[in-house]
Chain A
Amino acid sequence: MAVNFNEMLKGDERRVDSRTIYVGHRPCSASEPFIPPKFCDNRIVSSKYTVWNFLPKNLFEQFRRIANFYFLIIFLVQVIVDTPTSPVTSGLPLCFVITVTAIKQGYEDWLRHKADNEVNKYPVTVLENGLRLRKESEKIKVGDVLEVEEEETFPCDLILLRSSRDDDTCFVTTASLDGESNHKTHYTVPDIEKDLESLSATLECEQPQPDLYKSLGPENLLLKGATLKNTEKVCGVAIYTGMETKMALNYQGKSQKRSAVEKSINAFLLVYLCILLSKALVCTTLKYLWQSKPGQDEPWYNEKTQKVRDTNLYLKMFTDFLSFMVLFNFIIPVSMYVTVEMQKFLGSFFITWDKDFFDPEIKEGALVNTSDLNEELGQVEYVFTDKTGTLTQNNMEFIECCIDGFQYKHRDVNSEVDGFCVTDGPVNSLKEKAGREREELFLRALCLCHTVQVKESPEGFIASSPDEVALVKGAMRYGFTFLGLESKAMKILNRSHEIEVYDLLHVLNFDPVRRRMSVIVKCKSGDIVLFCKGADSSIFPRVRQEEVEPIRVHVERNAKEGYRTLCVAYKLLGTEEYARVDAALREARLALQGREEKLMAVYNEVETGMSLIGATAVEDRLQEEAAETMQALQGAGIKIWVLTGDKMETAKSTCFACRLFQMTTELLELTVRTLDEGGRKREERLHELLLEYHKKAVQDAPSVENSISGNWSVTSHEYGFIIDGATLSMVLNSTDSNSSHYRTLFLQICQNCTAVLCCRMAPLQKAQIVKLVKNSKGSPITLSIGDGANDVSMILEAHVGIGIKGKEGRQAVRNSDYAIPKLKHLKKLLLAHGHLYYVRIAHLVQYFFYKNLCFILPQFLYQFFCGHSQQPLYDAAYLTMYNICFTSMPILAYSLLEQHISIQALLSNAPLYREIRKNAMLRWRPFLYWTLLGVFHGLVFFFGVRCLFRNSALQDDGQVYGNWSYGTIVFTVLVFTVTLKLALDTRHWTWINHFVIWGSLAFYVLFSFFWGGIIWPFLRQQRMYFVFATMLSSLSAWLVIIVLIVLSLLPEILLAVFRKPFTPFTQQRNPVESNVGAVPSPLSSTRPLLMRTFTDESNTVI
């Protein structure tokens, strides 16, 4: 017997080649020679390295990063060419960086190995020739028949052959795959022999495909990683193993997101690279000009070796150029990358540690998946939020229902069925209630039309959507209790405490396109009934029109109150009709190609001509402090867009409840309804409305630029914009040439509105919107927040994706960059953490460039005084240690601890957030300021000491100082000035700041004493011997150090006085130029993998 099983997924015709699997490795017929096909084994390899290839592979990976490669080149130049500084000066930091990264990655890989092993060595039961063998999971071969017990996870992708349940089903949860914790039902392959030992069959199935979220496999396929529930044991044949399982195919890193700060860094880097190159070029040119004068190149006291003399002139020029490059290469320090990485990595811990983010309900705090984007949190201009589960709690409560236009409101838990009629409700006001028959039909529909499962305790329900649970519980309050589904029979306890049994014939599953679901059941009486529930828009066209009106009133009223409404309809199916439907459904389910389309067509065909019974209203309560949070974000100048799949009225009411729309807000509606109003063609009306709104919101309104610089709170008129999915797709995909024009109009309108509501959105449309805004003029920073699988696309699309650890599974959390338990946490995350991170890292970056500029500038200037001979001004130890030891810790501490404004003030004063918008601290203007400051300091350091050294007799015994003393004095002034400059910038002095700032200076002094205090046996040159100590014995040196430090810091102090407190760079800023000429970042993927905790690993990898 051959079971043909084909797993088809939509749109994958490309990969039609299938694989043939011999169940139990038994040939189908004796005549055919059995050639076992080759498939990969069931070993999961998520690790990147083995012990043997770790070193070469890891090094290769690391040097693929442009920055590392650049430093490697510099190092190699130093090794090969006769350069002024020893290779150690750049080799040591590079080595340090490489080693630390290698250790980090090695550790992570070790964790992965461990996780892999745990999975691969996990024992499984294999049925082989009638024997039950225990095997290690990794030894499973395709075609093996496996036995899995309850609560076990499937070791590979299986086709269910036998279940211990009578109804040939089994239940699984896919919590570790997509986070959905509901029980899903899977069926055994129909018409199969019960005796698996003797079963000899072949299976044809597709080659492995990664499509996991489309549908979690057809109903016979059990996916690796899912857990068996409520079923004693099942047997299945392995079809995909190891790296070919859906789960493994889906395990891939998310695309790397880059922050605006990083782009700025790259732009600055480019500037500094240009400075570096031009410096080297200038020096090389001047050197050869200088040398061309007679007697300068090779005076009698300083002859070249024969080898150098014989070298080709152009080669010499080239090596000279390289040498200058090496001499000045400290202007782009390795340590900046280390410090930035460390800052991001360590800084992100503050989010995880924040106890304000701890939610006692789920007993979890915030989760950081990417620390690369910390500072981006301070730059958000657009927030795209999901409604259900994000703005609202997704904690559904049945509020009321309406049957035949009569409103039933549940008032008291204990009271009996207690419908009461409200005046505006029914058309027929003579009757208070709908007929008892209709009531019961409605309640039966609620009891039957769902996919809820009953858990052990009678009142425990499990469902994929909380609405369903709310409805079933609602029905229970009215006396109809759903008892459970047993072997395709649904049991209901009705009002008279009798048990009614219905045979469940078909479930027409819910999907977001149809926006409805149906069940077909067979009553005891033999009647076959289809119950359907769904969104009003999808039900109303499919029922008799005369029934719609009374219900519509209720639905709209409920929607306005912010309730989620569902309409319930039914249809009696005749036996013949059912037979036809049944056949069509079965055929569609087994279709080899275009299965989904076919199913959809059948569903649509069946769900017509129904009669409407009533509607339900379920309240979805607002999240805690949702309104406050939204207000704070709006106060921070962030535009909030609500993207929801919900209907307009509901969404609008939520927006009002959240105070996104206020009473004064003028709503600009662009929905199917407004488009239909004019009675003309939709396209024309769309054009007209767009122009009208554009005129209103954009042309007549004060320009955005004014409102930024002016006072924000007094914006004359506030607009809210509402658009629905259908209209949006018209705007975006309109075929004619207007398309791009519409887009810009639409965007401009939206950008001038305080809040935008997009309802009836398909998940992909959400991402489309985000993309549209992201790529609009000025490329604003976007943030998406959502909790469900339907938000994943927009979470991935936005600059920053935030997942809410809500009730709709973990998928959003897993794909997010940051996950928080509640919406209210967003306020602190952005206003406090984001703001601080941005200020910290912006200052860190600027400071780093500054300190290296004034470090290298004297070195450059010195070339003019030493015949452009690449003589370093500073000792090699100072060159190496400057960035690693002397000046790195204070800025790191600053960039971790600085709170230029206290967190309290940031939270209570949302407009502060605006001051750093548009990358304010990393624009060219502040960059220029820092660069000029660096130049000024460099000039002061060098020429100050230069003037002092006009007479190098600086001691009272007349002895003279040499070039190393010169460099040491410059260096001392440099270290002190640069550190004190940071001290001046520090607004938040914790003991750690004190410790590292004063500690660094003390360390410098101690190190210098130590370094100059010993004749170092391994050094060829003892150039620094007692230079520092002798310098300190000179009063003149002290005096010059003091005066130069004071002179350098003077403008800084002065500016600090004139600068308003709290507002670093707000006075004027240039809104147009931003990251012109940003280069692809040399900083490649160093997502702090350590952030992924063990549990995360196990979730994604096993």
Chain B
Amino acid sequence: MMASSYNAKEEDGHHSGPSSHGGAGAVKSKKPDNTAFKQQRLPAWQPILTAGTVLPAFFVIGLIFIPIGIGLYVTSNNIKEFEIDYTGVDVSSPCFSCAKNYSWDSTTSCTCSVNFTLEQPFESNVFMYYGLSNFYQNHRRYVKSRDDSQLNGDRSALTNPSKECEPYRTSEGQPIAPCGAIANSLFNDTLVLYHVDSNGTKISIPLAKKGIAWWTDKHVKFRNPGGNDNLTIAFQGTNKPVNWRKPVFELDPDDRDNNGFINEDFIVWMRTAALPTFRKLYRIIHKKSSSTPTLASGRYILDITYNYPVLSFDGRKRMILSTISWMGGKNPFLGIAYITVGSICFFLGVVLLIIHHKYDSRNSSADIPN
């Protein structure tokens, strides 16, 4: 006796008159697809972290991390590191007069020598760093004050450096190459190391100045304009940075592959440090033979050509000698971190184990709702 004529079409509210939009209604009344995705029934892995599953993980982490930590700590401790501050703040320090009397205009450079003694021999390759403190290489104004196109050998950037280089963009009407604050403040102390042997003679220690910059920087990122030949011509029409004594193409006149923008000291300096106290690789002392240590214990003399003023901003200069392991320089942090985290995990594992046991026995009878 179904008589009332409610029909779906009219209910739909779309009038069957000619102005109704055919098609749309048909699509709408379609039954939803019965796909796993649309019905939210995709097969799924449903992990639940419980004491039971996490416990082994904690033990495993603890058992892996603690040995690694110990390894790291031992490695770090085996690294020999020697550090000496030669800023010359104290009256007693040899570089005091240099630090005090220094001025940019002086044509003659000030030199001073620092004596020190290595208690233990440095066996493997020794890396010589200079360290600066309270030097904000990561200051924003400083970090951006460079022109990477110019450093990449771009000719137009050479003659027309980026605006970012201001106020070290031009001098005497000519563009500065390399422009910018970073290049302008290139570290220009010269450090020379002598070993004083038992009979008091100074033996100069050969310092390698290659291999201190990132390979990619040296070979790709930094390029001289127009190749490495005839840098004098290539840099014609540009001026040296105001604080520099000599133009960029005289940074290392002896070695064509280490001159101009691809001078490694320059490249190292151009990689701005992360923190205001930093070290930068200066030279490498390669191990000569397997029998003798690279640097034997004994007295050494560090000859410094003191050019770089730091006292005006209360900075410090250091010279660091360090051996290197697979993990880099001396840094006990990683070892300690691993040991700590490993121990925490292990400790938590034990605690969890205890809790797990209690929890299990307690809940065997009383069930948790849900």
Judge if B72 is at the interface, Cβ distance under 8 Å.
yes
A1046 — which chain B residues lie within 8 A by C-beta? 61, 65, 341, 345
> Which of B65, B278, B352 has its CB near the most chain A CB atoms (within 10 A)?
B278
Which A885-921 residues have C-beta < 8 A from chain B? 897, 899, 902-903, 909, 911-912
* Least distance between A883 CB and chain B CB atoms (Å): 22
Interface flag for B106 (CB, 8 Å): no
> A953 and B31 in contact (CB under 8 A), knowing A118-B19, A963-B272, A989-B46?
no
Q: How far is the CA of A461 from the CA of B1 in the complex (A)?
A: 11
Task: State which residues 1032-1060 of A face B: CB under 8 Å.
Answer: 1034-1036, 1039-1040, 1043, 1046-1047, 1050, 1053-1054, 1056-1057, 1060
**Residue B200 CB within 8 A of the other chain:** no
Contact A1056 B44 (CB under 8 A): no
Q: Once the chains are docked, how many angstroms separate the CA of A461 from the CA of B6?
A: 9
Q: Which of B197-244 touch A at CB < 8 Å?
A: 211-214, 216-217, 220-221, 243
Q: Is the CB of A175 within 8 A of B3?
A: no
The verdict on A984 contacting B49 (CB below 8 Å), with A462-B5, A948-B334 known, is yes
- Pick from A181, A466, A1060, A1063 the residue with the most CB of B within 10 Å: A181
Which of B7, B15, B148, B243 gathers most chain A CB within 10 Å? Answer: B15
Q: For the complex, is B279 an interface residue (Cβ under 8 Å from A)?
A: yes
Known contacts A364-B29, A462-B5; is A956 also within 8 Å of B141 by CB? no
A80 to B139, CA, bound (A): 21
Note all chain A residues with C-beta closer than 8 A to B141.
Answer: 302, 304, 869
Q: Does the CB pair B140–A84 fall under 8 Å? A: yes
A597 within 8 A of B: no
Bound Cα distance from A1019 to B5, whole angstroms: 72
Please state if B140 and A1020 are interface contacts (CB–CB under 8 Å).
no
A766 to chain B: closest CB distance in Å? 23
Chain B contact residue count (CB 8 A cutoff): 120
Name B140-162 residues within 8 Å CB distance of A.
140-149, 152, 162
- Which residues of the partner chain A approach B279 to less than 8 Å between Cβ atoms? 951-953, 960
Complex alpha-carbon distance, A734 and B280, angstroms = 85
A155 to B314, CA, bound (A): 86
User: Measured between alpha carbons, how far is A962 from B327 in the docked complex, in Å?
Assistant: 17
Asked whether any CB of chain A lies closer than 8 Å to the CB of B13, the reply is: yes
Task: Name the interface residues of A943-973: CB closer than 8 Å to any CB of B.
Answer: 944, 946-967
Interface pair B139/A866, CB less than 8 Å apart: yes
B173 interface contact, C-beta 8 A: no
Q: Give complex CA distance A181, B11 in Å.
A: 7
With A295-B312, A353-B38, A1063-B370 as contacts: A1026 and B214 at CB distance below 8 Å:
yes
- CB pair B4–A466 under 8 Å, yes or no, is yes
Q: Fill in one digit per residue for A234-253: 1 if any B CB lies within 8 Å of its CB, else 0.
A: 00000000000000000000
Is the Cβ of A1036 less than 8 Å from the Cβ of B328?
Answer: yes
Closest to A807 in B: B6
A363 sits at the interface (CB 8 A): yes
- Which residues on the A side are within 8 Å of B138 (C-beta)? 865-867, 869, 871, 963
Judge whether A52 is part of the interface by a CB distance below 8 angstroms: no
A865-B138, A865-B275, A1050-B344 known; A303+B181 contact, CB < 8 A? yes
Q: Would you call A618 an interface residue if the criterion is a C-beta within 8 Å of the partner chain's C-beta atoms?
A: no
Residue pair B140, A869 in contact (C-beta under 8 Å): yes
A-contact 0/1 string along B271-285, CB 8 Å cutoff: 111111011110010
**B-contact 0/1 string along A291-335, CB 8 Å cutoff:** 000011001111111100000000000000000000000000000
Residues on B with C-beta less than 8 A from A1021 are: 144, 146, 148, 164
A679 in the interface (beta carbon within 8 A): no
Q: How far is the CA of A991 from the CA of B142 in the complex (A)?
A: 48
The answer to whether B28 and A1093 touch across the interface, beta carbons within 8 angstroms, is yes
Q: Mark B106-127, 1 if CB is under 8 A from A, else 0.
A: 0000000000000000000101
Task: Tell me the bound Cα distance from A299 to B331 in angstroms.
Answer: 30
Which has the most chain A C-beta neighbours within 10 Å: B54, B324, B370?
A: B370
The reply to whether B370 and A952 form a contact with Cβ atoms under 8 Å apart is no
User: Contacts of A413 on B, CB cut-off 8 Å?
Assistant: 1
Q: Measured between alpha carbons, how far is A1021 from B161 in the docked complex, in Å?
A: 12
Q: Which residues of chain A are within 8 angstroms of B220 by Cβ–Cβ distance? A: 1015, 1025-1026
If the complex has contacts A867-B136, A947-B337, A952-B279, are A295 and B314 also in contact, measured as CB distance less than 8 A?
yes
The interface residues of chain A lying within 8 Å CB-to-CB of B334 are 948, 1036, 1039-1040, 1043
* A1022 in contact with B152 (CB, 8 Å): yes
Give the contacting residue for A175; candidates B10, B49, B213; CB below 8 A.
B10
Complex Cα gap A514–B27 (Å): 43
Q: A-B contact count, CB below 8 Å?
A: 358
Contact A810 B13 (CB under 8 A): yes
A1099 proximal to B (CB < 8 A): yes
Q: Give complex CA distance A67, B25 in Å.
A: 37
B3, A460: Cβ atoms closer than 8 Å: yes
Contact bitstring B85-120, A, C-beta under 8 A = 1, else 0: 000000000000000000000000000000000000
Q: How large is the interface on A (under 10, 10 to 19, 20 to 34, 35 or more residues)?
A: 35 or more
Q: How far is the CA of A957 from the CA of B34 in the complex (A)?
A: 60
Residues of chain A within 8 A of B32, CB atoms compared: 352-355, 357-358, 365
Given A179-B13, A303-B181, A1095-B25, A1035 and B327 contact (CB-CB distance below 8 Å): yes
A871 interface neighbour in B8, B143, B314, Cβ under 8 Å:
B143
Tell whether, in the assembled complex, residue B3 and residue A987 are in contact, meaning their CB atoms are under 8 Å apart.
no
Using CB atoms, name the residue of chain B closest to A350.
Answer: B40
With contact pairs A463-B4, A866-B136, A990-B44 given, residues A153 and B15 touching in the complex (Cβ less than 8 Å):
yes
Cα A1034 to Cα B38 with chains together (Å): 46
A358–B34 Cα distance when bound, in Å, is 11
Judged by a CB distance under 8 angstroms, whether B21 is at the interface is yes
B275 and A1022 form a contact (CB under 8 A): no
Residue among A153, A1020, A1050 with the highest chain B CB neighbour number at 10 A: A1020
Minimum distance in angstroms from A930 CB to a CB of chain B: 18
Determine how close the nearest CB of chain A comes to the CB of B210; give it in whole angstroms.
12
Q: Is the CB of B17 within 8 A of A153?
A: yes
Q: Which residue of A lies closest to B135 (CB)?
A: A301
Q: Does B322 contact A (CB under 8 A)?
A: yes
B289 within 8 A of A: no
Query: Binary interface profile of B, 317-352, with partner A (CB < 8 Å = 1, else 0)?
Result: 000001011111111011001100100110010001
- A1074: which B residues are within 8 A, CB to CB? none
Residues of B within 8 A of A362 (CB): 8, 11
Which residues of A have CB within 8 Å of B43? Answer: 990-991
A360's nearest neighbour on chain B, judged by CB, is B31
The answer to whether the Cβ of B16 comes within 8 Å of any Cβ in the partner chain is: yes
CB-defined interface of B236-259 with A at 8 Å, one 1/0 digit per residue? 000000010000000000000000
Chain A 1052-1076, CB-CB to B under 8 Å as 1, else 0, gives 0110110011110000000000000
Asked if B17 contacts A473 (CB within 8 A), the reply is no
Q: Are A1057 and B326 in contact (CB under 8 A)?
A: no
The answer on a CB contact under 8 Å between A953 and B314 is: no
Cα separation A967 to B368 with both chains bound (whole Å): 46
A122 touches B18 (CB 8 A): yes
Q: Are A958 and B3 in contact (CB under 8 A)?
A: no
- Could you tell me if A989 and B47 are in contact, using CB atoms closer than 8 angstroms? yes
Residue A276 interfacial (CB < 8 Å): no
CB proximity of A1021 to chain B, nearest CB, Å: 5
Check B263 for interface membership: any CB of A closer than 8 A.
Answer: no
A455 to chain B, nearest CB (A): 5
CB nearest neighbor in A for B76 = A951
Q: Is A115 part of the binding interface, using a Cβ–Cβ cutoff of 8 Å?
A: yes
Task: Evaluate contact between B47 and A987: CB separation under 8 angstroms.
Answer: yes
Are the CB atoms of B46 and A953 closer together than 8 Å?
no
Chain B residues lying within 8 Å of A300, measured Cβ to Cβ, are: 185, 243, 309, 312-313
Bound complex: CA A152 to CA B147 (Å): 74
Give the contacting residue for B16; candidates A151, A911, A947, A1099; CB below 8 A: A151
A509 CA to B168 CA, complexed, in Å: 92
- Not counting A301-B243, A950-B331, A1057-B51, a sample of 5 additional A-B residue pairs whose C-beta atoms are within 8 angstroms of each other reads A353-B38, A473-B1, A869-B136, A952-B274, A953-B127
For the complex of A and B, the 3 pairs showing the least CB-CB separation, nearest first, are A301-B185, A953-B329, A966-B274
A-B contact pairs, 6 of them (CB 8 A): A457-B3, A865-B275, A958-B212, A1056-B49, A1095-B25, A1095-B28
